[in-house]
Each structure stands twice: as structure tokens, then as C-alpha cells.
Amino acid sequence: MRTRRAEYSESTRQALVDSAVDLFTKRGYAGTSLDEVVKRARVTKGALYHHFSGKQALFEAAFARVETKAIESLTAVVTGDGAPWDTAIAGLRAYVRKCLEPEYQRIIVHEAPVVMGWERWREAEEHFSFGLLRTAVQLLVDAGEIEEAPVEIMARLLFGALSAGASTIASSSDPKRTGREVERAILRVLEGLRKK
Amino acid sequence: MRTRRAEYSESTRQALVDSAVDLFTKRGYAGTSLDEVVKRARVTKGALYHHFSGKQALFEAAFARVETKAIESLTAVVTGDGAPWDTAIAGLRAYVRKCLEPEYQRIIVHEAPVVMGWERWREAEEHFSFGLLRTAVQLLVDAGEIEEAPVEIMARLLFGALSAGASTIASSSDPKRTGREVERAILRVLEGLRKK
DNA sequence: CACCGGTACGTACCGGCGGTATGTGAGATA
DNA sequence: TATCTCACATACCGCCGGTACGTACCGGTG
């Protein structure tokens, strides 16, 4: 049953997460105070601590929000029925573009591993971007496109390379050019792994 | 002129950096209080703020300390006079091992980009590990071992992949095995880039 | 040797921030 | 309508980074 109070509650929760995503993106986790977050959401700390156990939990909620949105747009790209290789390439392109959005860049790529701790981050990423990337790699192996290799490891390396590439693009003085270069470099790496 | 006071001063500064490296490694930047740092160094905050402008500056000193030590051991590996390709491989192996040391892993790989900010981190790394890696890649290109490519970009991607690989090893339940797998995977990527 | 200047700290304190304990009023329940 | 409950608001605490100021000791000078 959908009561009135429940709707209000959900609404303020959303407002808190919205505010958190905004401020964490602009000022980072350490640079954002909870007073700012609740002020922007037009509530008080009482509301925040009613919905979340603390600052960390609020960050994880923001993390989940951003990642969920990202997964949606990425799966849309990947669920075409083209050749596995071409689909994978399209997915990589889409992911690099995602990494250039400030929200994703700051919260997911840069801060999450430190704020959540590497272990917790790794665990959470299983259900989000990294999980998607790993299944993509698995598909390529199954399709015989790239040589047999420990999928987990290869996916980790690729994930790291992609993040570094995206950061490079983002802080470049000529993002367009750097973007093309990064894409070409990644494609070259993949071609090097491809079976003849 | 080497005065007595200068020696004392240098000594307390070293003690502060030692303490900082220790605590930042164990508890991270945010989890370490300056009171703990000065207590372990057996001084007070007055001494700390005499030598460093603040917590950030102290972190950068710790960063420089750890990186300097790393560079020393890495250049020792690289300055053999073997074939460029073999030297590069040896360097990569040595770097992965470095990343498994807790100090390097926590302070340099995980926290530095967030604490210092990506731009500042990138700038600092020019004189340390990344600088070394990039010149190594440049040497391989010059020697005709790998195909022409924007060296900066390739080095960035490699750097990201190596960091991810090292983190994977460190948090693995079977580090020995994972270590071998990561090394093999990296070698395969490099072989894919090698000229025929 | 007396004096003095400056450096290398120590001490006391402030403001801000994360977190907590407790009050309260609107909406659900009977 | 009376009561209960939950979704907040309010007030407060302890810690921590940073600052202002005091001080003792070393090193040079007459």
C-alpha cells in the first residue's frame, strides 16, 4: 500500500541523494560537509541520519545512483545483435564517453575506491560497470575472438587502462584530439590480443 | 656549513615524515590525525607546522619519500645494458613487485591521486614512477620494438593497467598465483603490441 | 664573556565537521 | 476523536585541522 508519508519520505531521500551527487562531484567527498548537503536538500541532519547511517552510507547511495544510470545507458549500447567484436568496441567507446561525464569521473572512477575502500569498491563494482566489462570480455573469449586467458585478470587490466585513459582525456588541453588518440591506442591493444 | 641546530631540525623533520608514512600506510590519509603523527614522532604540532604548511604538505613529503625510494630500486633494475625489450620486461616485473609493498600501494597508487588531486598528482608523477615508465616506452619505440604510437597515451594506459593489476594481486586470496597470472597477461598485451 | 637575534619548536585555543540524543508534530490507525 | 508512530527538527558533544603566541636554545657579534 502506497501511503502519503511513504511518498514524502522517498522524496526527501531522493533529494538528499541528488544533493550528495552534486556536491561530491563538485568538491569531492572530503571537501563536502553534511551541512551543505542537507541545506541544498532543504532538510536537516536529522533527516539525513534517519535515512542513512552516516556520510559513508550517503556516498554509497550516490555511488549506486550514478552507477545505475550508467549501466542503463551502457546496456542499451551493448544489447544490439551485431558481431561480438563490433559490439565490444561500441561498448568500450560508450564507456570512455561515460567516464568523461563529471559525475561518473569524480565519484565512480576517482573517489569511490578510496572512500569505500578497495575491497568494498571491488565488491560493489561486480554488479555495475566492472561486471559488465567482465561479461563482455568473457563473450569475446567464448566467441573465439581473443586468445584464452584468465578473464578476471584481463578485465581488471582493461578496466584500469580505460580509467587512466578517461582521466587523461578529461584533463587534456585538447580533449577531442586526446580522445581520438586514446581510442586508437585502446583499439590497438585489443587488436594485439585478437586471434589471427 | 653544517651546524648543530640544522642537524636537529633535519632529524625531527625526518621523524615526522617517517611517522606520516607509517600512519598513512596503515590508516590512510583521512583516517590519520596529526595528533597521532606528532605523538609517534615525539614532538608537537608546533614542530609539524614549522616544517610543513599543513596536512597536505606532509602527505606530499611522505609521497616524495616513498617515490624516491622506489625510483632508486627501479633504476637499479633498468640500468643494465641488456636488450631494450628484456630490460623493459624486467622493469615491469620490478614495478609490479613495488606496487605490492604496503607503503607504495596505499600512499602512491591508491591515495595520492585523490589526496593531491589528479592534476597535481600527474605533475608530481612526471618526476617519479610514471616518468620512468614513459621513458621506457619511448626507448622501446625508438628501438623499433613496438609500433609507432603516441607515447604519452600508451604510457598512461599501461600505468593504469599496472596499477589495477597490482591491486588485484594485493587483494587476492592467492597472491602468488594471481601474481603469475597478472604478469602473463601484461606480457601478452605487450607481445600484442610488438612489431613482427 | 655578555648580549642579542632568530630559529625551532611547545602551548593554548578556535571554528568546523561528523555524529548522537532527544524533542515534536503531522499523518496513519483503531 | 484519541493514540500511536515515524519522519523528521533541534541542540549538543568530541575530535581534528589550523592558528596565534610564548619560549628556550643555539649561534654569531662586540
Residue A70, Cβ neighbours under 10 Å: how many?
21
Using a 10 angstrom Cβ sphere, with 0-12 exposed, 13-18 middle and 19 or more buried, the burial of residue A182 is buried
Residue A58 has pLDDT above 80, yes or no: yes
- Position A96 scores a pLDDT of 94
Listed residue (A102, A98, A166, A100) closest to A132, CA to CA: A98
* Residue spans per domain, chain B: 1-52, 54-193
Residue A196 pLDDT > 90, yes or no? no
CATH architecture of A1-52: Orthogonal Bundle (1.10)
Tell which of B27, B105, B114 to mutate to test the A interface (max A CBs under 10 Å).
Answer: B114
B31 touches chain A (CB under 8 A): no
User: At residue B194, what are phi and psi to the nearest 5 degrees?
Assistant: -75, 145
Q: Tell me which residue has cell 595520492.
A: B112
| A188–B193 C-beta distance less than 8 A | yes
Q: Integer distance in angstroms from CA A23 to C1' D10? A: 24
Provide the 10 A C-beta neighbour count for residue A151.
Answer: 18
Cell numbers given for A82: 551485431
Q: What cell numbers appear for A68 in the block?
A: 545505475
Q: Which residues pair with B194 in a beta bridge?
A: B146
What pLDDT, in 10s, does the model give residues B98-114? 999 999 999 999 999 99
* Mean pLDDT, chain B, whole residue set: 95
Closest residue in B to A192 (Cα) is B192
Question: How far from chain centre, in Å, is Cα B1?
Answer: 33
For B4-38, letters b (16+ CB in 10 Å) and e give: eeeeeeeebbebbbebbbbbbbeebbeebebebbb
Cα–Cα dist B94/B96, whole Å: 6
| pLDDT of residue B120 exceeding 70 | yes
What is the pLDDT averaged over residues A25-37?
98
Q: Name the nt closest to A45 by C-alpha to C1'.
A: D9
- Angle B129-142/B55-78 helices, nearest 10 degrees? 30
Q: Facing residues of A194 across strands?
A: A146
What are the cell numbers at A83?
Answer: 558481431
The size of chain A, in residues, is 196
What one-character DSSP code corresponds to residue A8? Answer: H
Residue A164, chain B, CB below 8 Å: the answer is yes
Find, in chain B, the residue whose alpha carbon is nearest to that of A148: B185
Instruction: Give B1's pLDDT tier (boundaries 50, 70, 90).
Output: low
Q: What is the mean pLDDT of residues B89-99?
A: 95
Contacts of B147 in chain A (CB under 8 A): 188
Q: Residue B84 pLDDT > 90, yes or no?
A: yes
Model pLDDT, residue A6: 93
Chain A residue closest in CA terms to B166:
A157
Mention every residue, 6+ apart, whose C-beta is less than 8 A from residue B191.
A192
Amino acid at B164: A
Which CATH number applies to B54-193: 1.10.357.10, 1.20.140.10, 3.40.50.1000, 3.10.20.90? 1.10.357.10
Share of chain B above pLDDT 90, in %: 92
- Whether A36 has a pLDDT exceeding 80, the answer reads yes
Residue found by looking up cell 600505468 in the block: B159
Share of chain A above pLDDT 70, in %: 99
User: Distance from residue B48 (CA) to nucleotide D3 (C1'), in Å?
Assistant: 60
Each residue's pLDDT tens digit, B155-182: 999 999 999 999 999 999 999 999 999 9
Tell the CATH superfamily of the A55-193 domain.
Tetracycline Repressor, domain 2 (1.10.357.10)
Q: What is the per-residue pLDDT for A1?
A: 61
CA–CA separation, B189 and B192 (whole Å):
5
Determine the distance from the C-alpha atom of residue B129 to the mean position of all C-alpha atoms in its chain, rounded to a whole number: 6
pLDDT, residue A163, reads 96
Q: Which residues contact A68 (CB under 8 A, 6 or more apart)?
A: A128
Give the closest-approach CA distance of B56 to chain A in angstroms: 13
Q: Considering only CA atoms, which of A147, A185, A136, A104 is closest in space to residue B153?
A: A185
Confidence at residue B94, expressed as pLDDT on a 0 to 100 scale? 96
Distance CA B186, CA B183 (A): 5
* Contact call for B158 and A161, based on CB within 8 A: yes
Residue pLDDT, tens place only, A94-114 = 999 999 999 999 999 999 999
Which chain A residues contact residue B30 at CB under 8 A?
30
